[in-house]
Amino acid sequence: MGRLDGKVAVITGASSGIGAATAQRFCREGAAVVVADLNDAGGRAVVDACVAAGGRALFQHVDVCDEEQVRAAMQRAVADYGRLDIIFNNAGLGGAIGPIETLSVEDWDRTLAVLLRGVFLGMKHAIPLMRAGGGGSIISTASVAGIRGGAGPHPYSAAKAAVINFTRSAALELAKDQIRVNCICPGGIHTPLLANRFPGGAEALTPLLAMLQPMPRAGFPEDIAAMATFLASDEAGFVTGAAMVVDGGFTAGGSMLPPLPTQVTEYAGPSFETKV
């Protein structure tokens, strides 16, 4: 018996990193999964891995900034699997990076569109389908950057803080419908989003991440997938409005490294589009 037997999930940003690990974990736990992403090749590879391991999964091309594409992903879950129980609003990017006075309005807006509008649209179009099924679990990826300063670029940090409080307000509205709303606040996690932009790549990133927090190892996508599985499961039936921190003690003990430099202004797009 899996912890998610009979449940149906949509996961955005599921072609790599946290989303891919969660899609595979959900399938192992018995859920059917819609892998939603801009990265068609990566998304289909994740579906192939899920199916090869005996899971049920399909790919849907989704830009989380586009309302019709988000709506279509939710409808695809119902059309192919009969219901929708879980939405994991996970799609993300680094977005606009640099000193405040050098950031363009366009890059600020692009960043918040993915990180905040994408969460709103995922909730908006999941709620009616979950209500029709008697309830569900909404999960969003926030960040420790939404809890404390200095843990991420300015627009990224602002968006993640908004996701945390949006989670709380949505939880109050939806509790009567048996729809639980929670978010996860990862610390330093070894994902392509970081590794593709880090000098030396994934190999060099691992020891650096191990120094970020009191727990002396890097965080990995599977660590976040484990928390997402708990929040998606009936074990978390009385958990709503929570920001679950998964950071190896980072927010408790602080970073052991100096703040990241902010003198460079740039826009960090999706992981499959960014290279060192």
How would residue 117 be classed by pLDDT, with cut points 50, 70 and 90?
very high
Q: Give the lowest-confidence range in 104-108, 123-127, 147-151.
A: 147-151
The Cα 84–Cα 105 span in angstroms is 36
35-45 pLDDT, tens per residue?
999 999 999 99
Supply the pTM of this predicted model. 0.92
Instruction: Say how many C-beta atoms besides its own lie within 10 A of residue 232's C-beta.
Output: 29
Which of the residues are catalytic? 156
- Domain borders along the chain are 8-249+261-273
Distances (CA, A) of 264 to 97, 99, 177, 198, 261: 7, 8, 46, 14, 8
Average model confidence (pLDDT) across the chain: 92
How would residue 121 be classed by pLDDT, with cut points 50, 70 and 90?
very high
Say if residue 244's pLDDT is above 90.
yes
86-89/136-141 β-pairing: parallel
How would residue 276 be classed by pLDDT, with cut points 50, 70 and 90?
very low
Looking at domain 8-249+261-273, which CATH architecture does it have? 3-Layer(aba) Sandwich (3.40)
The Cα 166–Cα 173 span in angstroms is 11
Residue in the block written with tokens 């300063």: 149
